[in-house]
Amino acid sequence: MTTPDHGPGVRIPPPVLVAALLAAAWLLRQLVPVPIGPPLPAFGSLLIFAALALIGWAILVMVRAGTDPRPDKPDAAMVEGGPFRFSRNPIYLGFLLAVAGFALRWGDLWGWVAVVLAHLVLDRLVVAKEEAYLATRFGAAYAAYRARVRRWV
């Protein structure tokens, strides 16, 4: 009898984690602003747009491969095409780029603190679980992919 596949075991959806950190940074910016440079709204908006495009592309590639992009669901296939050729985590990279876009728009320290914390949270609480799951689920194929493609960029 085989054990049912419950996916990597990520309990809190990564967009919720990142949105919470971004909201906390926004609130801190309102309460205790720490300007560290001029706001760059045009460049920040461009980065947010690029981040959303990367996230959308990665989700589209996953769906076309028959894999649910939610990290609490089991993977039906290992995805190596599209943005996954350059990063093992293009969706999470997109999240970090989006937060960096807000940091640029704001010109405040709290946005950059959110970038660092989002990276740590995603890397430790999400990516580590996903990589352990994928190594078990796809074995040698995932090990070869992992040797070929960097975790972030």
Any idea where the domains of the chain sit in the sequence?
A: 39-69+76-148
Give the residue among 43, 149, 26 at the shortest CA–CA distance from 104.
43
User: Do residues 132 and 10 lie in contact, with contact meaning Cβ atoms separated by under 8 Å?
Assistant: no
- pLDDT of 1 reads 47
Rounded to whole angstroms, how far apart are CA atoms 2 and 145? 26
Burial (CB < 10 A; 0-12, 13-18, 19+), residue 123, is middle
Q: Give mean pLDDT, residues 73-78.
A: 91
Span 106-151, pLDDT tens digits: 999 999 999 999 999 999 999 999 999 999 999 999 999 999 999 9
Give the residue among 120, 132, 87, 150 at the shortest CA–CA distance from 18.
120
